[in-house]
Structure 1
Amino acid sequence: MKCPKHVRINEVGPRDGLQNESAWVETEDKITWINMLSQTGLPYIEVTSFVHPKWIPALRDGLKVAKGITRSENTVYAALVPNRIGLERAIEGGINQACVFLSASETHNQKNVNKPIDQTVQQLKQVIAEAKEANLATRAYLSTVFGCPYEQNVPIEQIVRLSEILLEMGVDELSLGDTIGAANPVQVITVLETLLPRFSASQIALHFHDTRGTSLANIIPALDMGITSFDTSSGGLGGCPYAPGSAGNAATEDVIYMLEQMGIDTGTDLNKLLTAAAWIEKKIGKSLPSRNLQAFKTK
């Protein structure tokens, strides 16, 4: 197996982790948690979403959070931006990177953003262009790449087509999402064997959910094929509001422990990450699925 020397971990817990939680986390607690994550050496933290509060009420304080955090000069602070209004708020909040999102399956896209894919593409094209004019980095999430809760398998041709569209728009990174946690290592290899001859591995990140306990296994073949950017969530928080049964993301602590044991540098402090995960677990009031967090709490 070919192991990279360094992997970039993209922490999405404050956004993707909290968006599906029924328990309200106070604004000051969100800020404290993000500040704790900033002190771990993470190169990327997705701090909030500027989707309308009607759809994501758990993040209705996004602008206050973005303005309230203490920033590390070595960390990119990102936010989910659905449209021009969201982009304006992201710019006001001092966000470094605007993240747009699109589903690979038509049904999930309709439920997620209430628009057909082709109409969503046109909206995202405008948002990405205006983000670049504002000197923001851009990132695109392509959801349901490895399976859809409504359509099941998504044709690889659709994934290729939408990946080409998003990268041709000029996004700096394309994150391919296993929204329902259905992927397996062979499927990961098949998707990457199709995409990597067309796109550089440096343009692609992978976003695995751990619904069926396969997220770590899916990272292994991706590493071997040259992918060095992975989305993870503190404590394993997360889930998609429009993917019934979707469990949390790959836990940041579990991924980093595995990578470091493999001799792969992540530039992060695992003990500080565990402390941050334990802290937010108490605020949410329920046990989080991170295996390393559970081991940490028994010490």
Structure 2
Amino acid sequence: MTDYGRPPQFGMFPTPEADRVDEILDLVRMADDEGLDLVGIQDHPYQKRFLDTWSLMAVVLARTNRVRVFPDVACLPLRPPAVMAKAAASLDLISGGRFELALGAGAFWPAIGAMGGPERTPGEAARALSEAVDVIRLMWSGEASARYEGTQYQLSGVHPGPRPAHDIGLWLGVGGPRMLGLLGRVADGWVPSVSYFPPPALPGLHARIDESARAAGRDPAAIQRIYNVFGAITDGPSSGFLNGPVKQWVDELTGLVLESGMDTFVFGAEGDDPHQHQKWAVEVVPAVREAVARQRG
């Protein structure tokens, strides 16, 4: 059993479809009104049906007052990290400290290549992600100038700035041992999805992060664990994990906090069904918060 003792947080995962702008904005306003913590928006610039994620995040921040927003996760091969750091700091300042940054090493390489991006090998992608973390930290440092010599990225006396309004969480959407080790050393959070990393896989992945964190002199509990979860909140009997009535969702999510080490849940509903998101925000989320607090004593 693993419980890092962090307060649970909750968010939503709206699909950035270009023909559903009004529906997306209605959903995020509901998230804001109902007290959700986060809105995570997937970043696939090569997907013709999708809006540009960074443009959409700016509008979401402008249309909300309290919810925090992050790319879930940013497509590093198509977004140079120094420029992305500037954009992140800008959104954070404009929104009064409501932006977080999650990075992915890349996927769907032929699509990335078709858009003019690099088609990296696994080793190159891992190095690029590690270097990007360094570059982004330097761009947020407030130093007079910054230099960096990497195999994928370089800085040659750039003037960093502006600094973000708050210490932006730098999260990684990774799963391999090498990248989990990097995360444990230098990142603020981990962003897996239940479809790729189901609950039985979590203990071994946490162990790798924690081992690396301790070796770097860090407290593993300082690392946020954000889980993208998908399913259906129904009025009938269970039909599997995260497919069933509210009580099942409350029990399973509470177990993921107290036994499986996750502390933040970002919910994606089939078709972005607003009724599912309303049930999530109004019925599931408060009950999980209460159950976790009660069982922690």
TM-score by length of 1: 0.56
Per-residue deviation, residues 102-145 of structure 1 (Å, max 9, x unmatched): 35xxx9585686432212321232124324552251232324x3
Report the Cα offset of residue 233 of structure 1: 2.0
**Is the aligned partner of 1:125 residue 2:125?**
no
Instruction: Give the structure, 1 or 2, with the largest relative contact order (CA under 8 Å, sep 6 or more).
Output: 1
**Is the aligned partner of 1:37 residue 2:31?**
yes
**Is the aligned partner of 1:224 residue 2:258?**
yes
CA contact (8 A) 1:141 1:174 kept: yes
**Is the aligned partner of 1:140 residue 2:171?**
yes
Count of matched residue positions in the alignment of Structure 1 and Structure 2: 225
AA aligned to 2:128 is Q
Report the Cα offset of residue 13 of structure 1: 1.2
Report the Cα offset of residue 62 of structure 1: 3.8
User: Closer, same or farther in 2 for the Cα pair 1:67/1:210, shift >3 Å?
Assistant: closer
CA distance in 2: counterparts of 1:227 and 1:129, whole angstroms:
30
Report the Cα offset of residue 42 of structure 1: 1.2
- Report the counterpart of residue 280 of structure 1 in structure 2: none
Report the Cα offset of residue 194 of structure 1: 4.7
CA distance in 2: counterparts of 1:112 and 1:182, whole angstroms:
24
SS in 1 for 2:227: strand
**Is the aligned partner of 1:101 residue 2:116?**
no
- Report the counterpart of residue 89 of structure 1 in structure 2: 87
CA distance in 1: counterparts of 2:137 and 2:265, whole angstroms:
21
1:71 to 41, 64, 69: 64
1:189 to 203, 211, 221: 203
- Report the counterpart of residue 195 of structure 2 in structure 1: 180
SS in 2 for 1:58: coil
Per-residue deviation, residues 31-77 of structure 1 (Å, max 9, x unmatched): 3321221111112223x46x57445751227426514633324x323
Structure 2: stretches of 5+ with no match in the other structure? 113-118, 143-162, 232-238, 243-248
Per-residue deviation, residues 242-271 of structure 1 (Å, max 9, x unmatched): xxxxxxxx97945962771684369xxxxx
TM-score by length of 2: 0.56
Report the Cα offset of residue 99 of structure 1: 1.7
CA contact (8 A) 1:132 1:138 kept: no
- Report the counterpart of residue 294 of structure 1 in structure 2: none
User: Closer, same or farther in 2 for the Cα pair 1:213/1:237, shift >3 Å?
Assistant: farther
CA distance in 1: counterparts of 2:33 and 2:285, whole angstroms:
21
Per-residue deviation, residues 231-250 of structure 1 (Å, max 9, x unmatched): 32253568xxxxxxxxxxx9
CA contact (8 A) 1:44 1:77 kept: yes
SS in 2 for 1:25: helix
CA-atom RMSD in angstroms = 4.2
